[in-house]
């Protein structure tokens, strides 16, 4: 495009010169990236989870630790320490319903949870936030 004498090159003219004619439904627009506040994150475990609680659950046999993490996850979702275990959560953590009853009993014996069993319904589980530790005062000193 040749410039006419006395007429300056306009930015709009230059932009229109290189413009491709597209149907309205195919317009090219760049969307701004989402702001950090609006990003959606994957699911996560709400904390803080007491390390003493986790170590005590890890020392138990079976999938007690798996169940414990699932219980803390549900507690974070409901914002309550009293929860009911759902089948979808169990599937998510790879725990069978029979494993739940066995490991729930182990967690209860260790003093990590209290369980209110109700006939024909899911038990109400309360997470004990500060369990009794195996060493009440301090761990024994090694020689």
What whole-number distance in Å separates Cα of residue 115 and Cα of residue 113? 6
Cα(53)–Cα(72) distance, rounded to whole angstroms? 10
What pLDDT, in 10s, does the model give residues 36-59? 665 666 777 787 888 999 999 999
pTM of the model: 0.64
Using DSSP, state whether 44 is helix, strand or coil.
Answer: coil
Low-confidence winner among 6-15, 26-35, 95-104 (lowest mean pLDDT) = 6-15
The pLDDT of residue 35 is 63
Question: Across 20-143, where does the E strand assignment appear?
Answer: 82-84, 113-116, 124-127
Mean pLDDT in the chain?
Answer: 78
pLDDT at residue number 12: 52
pLDDT digits 0-9 by tens, 88-133? 888 888 999 889 989 999 999 999 999 999 888 888 999 998 877 6
DSSP code at position 81: S
Q: Are 90 and 96 in contact (CB under 8 A)?
A: yes
């Amino acid at each position: 495009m040749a410039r006419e004498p006395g007429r300056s090159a306009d930015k709009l003219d230059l932009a229109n010169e290189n413009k491709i004619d597209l149907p309205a439904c195919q317009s090219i627009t760049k969307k701004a990236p989402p702001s950090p506040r609006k990003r959606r994150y994957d699911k996560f475990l709400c904390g803080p989870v007491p390390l003493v609680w986790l170590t005590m659950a890890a020392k138990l046999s079976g999938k007690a630790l798996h169940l414990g993490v699932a219980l803390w996850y549900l507690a974070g979702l409901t914002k309550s320490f009293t929860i009911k275990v759902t089948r979808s959560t169990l599937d998510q953590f790879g725990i069978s319903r029979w494993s739940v009853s066995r490991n729930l009993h182990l967690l209860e014996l260790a003093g990590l949870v209290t369980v209110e069993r109700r006939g024909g319904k899911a038990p109400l589980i309360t997470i004990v936030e500060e369990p009794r530790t195996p060493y009440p005062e301090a761990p024994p000193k090694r020689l």
